[in-house]
A and B are shown apart, each in its own frame.
Chain A
Amino acid sequence: MQARRCKEYGSRRKGPGMMGLRLLMITALMCSVEAFAENRVVVIVHPDVADEALSDDDLRGIFWGDRTRWRNGDRIAMVLPSRSPIRDAFLETHIGRTDAQFRNHWRRIVFTGRGQMPREIEEEADLLAYVANTPGAVSFIGASALQRSEESVKILLSRN
């Protein structure tokens, strides 16, 4: 049922060209009519990412920096929205950490020579454009912002 609802939403999102077709709507915690109604957080990826679903363990691995590749071996390009209630909600729900703990984790990586700080993008439109145009990109955004956007991104479902 939820999948059908997503398809319905997908059909509404069909704009000019192939955009609507490429917008794969899948379901569960992040993709449902309720999600959009409540402005829940959805995980978005570049349309060419082959993965269809992610568990919280997967999300934790990706946003914690432990996992750097998709299942087909393509490189993951993780990007974050700037500090916001949406970001707080995502980190606490799916990563199990506060924003301060998350930033400290990445500072540990940066200040010990093990990686770079994740890229942060302030404007939602810019974030969507980055994910739509960067192979391997992954991020998250409020469902209502996605509804307003013309960008073509793929939404992943939860495997929990």
Chain B
Amino acid sequence: MKSELCIIFLLSALWCAVESYAWTGDVAGRPLDVHGFVSQGYLKSDHGNYLGPSEEGTFNFTEYALNASLYPADNVYVGAQIFARRLGYWGSYKPDLDWAVVDYRFKDWLGARVGRVRIPHGLYNETRDTDALRTSVFLSQSVYNEAWRDAFMSLSFGGGLYGVTPPGSFGHLDYRLYYGTLGLKDNSGFVTYLGDQFGAEASNVKNDDVWSFSLQWITPADGLRFGYTDNSFDLSGDLHTWATSPSWTHVFGPGGGAHLDYRARPRAKVFSVEYTWNDLTFAAEYMRANQNYRLNVPDVGPLSENDPIMEAYYASAHYRFTDWMEVGVSYSEFYPDRKDRDGRRQSTGRPDTYSWLKDFALTARFDVGDVRLFKLEGDLILKLEGHLMNGAASLPARKNLDEGQEDITERNWLLFMSKVTYLF
């Protein structure tokens, strides 16, 4: 019901904006700001299905968002955004409430916000949905796996404190500390990945206890900032093991699947640096995530307990040559278990290549310019991107089986993507 009210509020705000020939209307003398975007993309790979049926090529890559915000009082901000994404196997065209916030700023160094709040993870998680804010089609998939968006994007409900310290000779600090809960759908990419990691189907995954902390140091050196984010979760759910998985046939006997309880206290830390010099921006991030899980057989007892460490890192650079063209390059590596970089230890029955993913990417972004669509003025952006991939980690294993249940991924493969976005 709350979501429906927010959607009605947003659609009303859009109507006001369109009717007033502008992005901004007034409510009781205070500006009502309305913005949004719509994107359509295309994915094509030469081997394997990445996020969707990319081996065939897929246009199942559609996003749209609409937000409205208002300052009802000087220190009070209220805003909400609806967002829909159909990306390959996941999501739908039906919009969900993406974020909805009530924010009170006591001082510049101390504010509080509550509601459906974006989770800081690395430098760019909070803005990952907005294609126009970056050069590449996707952020580096090592740290910002698109299939896991639902698990990291926003607290279902929560809140916390934030602020920016006054600038001094050491620069200044930007901090956020949030706590809340996070709901996950069974058909989300993260739940699918979680099951794949265990050679199982995952379901009923909940995330009831999320702590999120972010600290950025904006240094006195112009354009240089460092960041640290730390997110801890409390996951629980059900696993239904694959009858074909060697690790489970070893335990439960051939041909027999089983039901397991899954509990985990994962924690993801990201260390970041970004440097902007004129039209050149360089960024590098390192993520280390403890998975810290326990499996129980219902009514029997503990089965296993482990704490594999996921590791991911990337470096990227992008340069704006002209007002209308920007080019980016990046390299990233991702390991679901940093102690198993060649896949010799995993025993889910998947090929070894599911233990790493190395990605070299090139992107060209073209800002076509201001375009008036109906009564809205906005920017039209076109992107083309190519990836040289090595490995298959983060690909959905069950979506990469042929009719004979044989894996179709290759060690080396290519991925092409394009995307057009209209943002107002």
Report A's interface with B, CB cutoff 8 A: 57-58, 60-61, 66-69, 75, 96-98, 100-101, 104, 107-108, 110-117, 119
Q: Which residue from chain A places its CB closest to the CB of B80 in the assembled complex?
A: A113
- The answer to whether residues A111 and B35 also contact, given A68-B108, A75-B74, A101-B276 and a CB cut-off of 8 A, is yes
Within 8 Å by CB of A66, from B65, B77, B164, B222, lies B164
Within 8 Å by CB of B65, from A57, A111, A116, lies A111
- CB pairs A–B below 8 angstroms (29 shown): A60-B167, A61-B167, A66-B108, A66-B164, A67-B164, A68-B105, A96-B223, A98-B278, A98-B320, A100-B367, A107-B35, A110-B35, A110-B67, A112-B118, A112-B126, A112-B127, A113-B80, A113-B81, A113-B99, A113-B113, A113-B118, A114-B77, A114-B101, A115-B77, A116-B33, A116-B69, A117-B33, A117-B35, A119-B31
Q: Which residue from chain A places its CB closest to the CB of B115 in the assembled complex?
A: A113
Report B's interface with A, CB cutoff 8 A: 23-24, 31, 33, 35, 65, 67, 69, 71, 74-75, 77, 79-81, 99-101, 103, 105, 107-108, 113, 117-118, 126-127, 129-130, 132-133, 164, 166-167, 172, 174, 222-223, 276, 278-279, 320, 323, 367, 423
Q: Which of A67, A107, A112, A117 has the most CB of B within 10 A?
A: A112
- Give the secondary structure class of B's interface: strand
Q: Which residue from chain A places its CB closest to the CB of B163 in the assembled complex?
A: A66
In the A-B complex, the 3 residue pairs with the smallest Cβ-Cβ separation, listed nearest first, are A116-B33, A57-B167, A113-B101
Question: How far does the alpha carbon of A68 sit from the alpha carbon of B172 in the complex, in Å?
Answer: 15
Residues on the B chain within 8 Å of A98, using CB: 278-279, 320
**B31 and A116 contact, CB distance less than 8 A:** yes
Residues on the A chain within 8 Å of B172, using CB: 61, 66
Question: How far does the alpha carbon of A90 sit from the alpha carbon of B423 in the complex, in Å?
Answer: 25
Residues on the B chain within 8 Å of A67, using CB: 108, 164, 166
Question: How far does the alpha carbon of A15 sit from the alpha carbon of B124 in the complex, in Å?
Answer: 51
Q: Which residue from chain B places its CB closest to the CB of A75 in the assembled complex?
A: B74
**A117 and B23 contact, CB distance less than 8 A:** yes
Q: Closest CB-CB distance, B20 to chain A, in whole Å?
A: 14
- The answer to whether residues A97 and B276 also contact, given A112-B99, A116-B71 and a CB cut-off of 8 A, is yes
Question: How far does the alpha carbon of A98 sit from the alpha carbon of B322 in the complex, in Å?
Answer: 11
Residues on the A chain within 8 Å of B222, using CB: 96
Question: How far does the alpha carbon of A58 sit from the alpha carbon of B167 in the complex, in Å?
Answer: 8
Residues on the A chain within 8 Å of B81, using CB: 111, 113
Question: How far does the alpha carbon of A59 sit from the alpha carbon of B130 in the complex, in Å?
Answer: 27
Question: How far does the alpha carbon of A104 sit from the alpha carbon of B279 in the complex, in Å?
Answer: 13
